[in-house]
Structure 1
Amino acid sequence: MPPNKRTYRLQIMLNAEELAVLDAWRFERRMPTRSDAVRELFRRGLTMTGDDADTVGGGRSADFRVLPTRN
């Protein structure tokens, strides 16, 4: 089996605003699919180091947002 064959499916839920941000990011970079964009963002997040890296552990999933919450 080739090492880059994708055999696992990951399902995520986004709200309309998060999807719009993802699509805008994807189109700016001329990425062919949303899946490609998510994989690239995932790769970048995992390789991030330094001041921009999130060093806070724990918390609820609701604490990790793409967009700020509105009050």
Structure 2
Amino acid sequence: MDQAQGSHFFFMSLYTPGDVHAPGSVWRRSGHFTPPPGMTRHDAYEMLMGEITEDTPALAGATVLAFDVQPNQL
């Protein structure tokens, strides 16, 4: 077990539409982080979406198909 993991795990599935020449694409992102005290699920969504679109600008404006964040401890 990696002790460096954050306290929460997230996953997000996103869809970017295609055009007449190419189909759309489904993207998956997942990871872990430790939210600061008082962070809400909405805050986490906004923070993670910002990081994802910064890392992959093609995902700016993508449709989010699924998002979840849960405690990382089983």
Q: TM-score, normalised by structure 1?
A: 0.31
- More contact order relative to length (CA 8 Å, sep ≥ 6): 2
Q: TM-score, normalised by structure 2?
A: 0.30
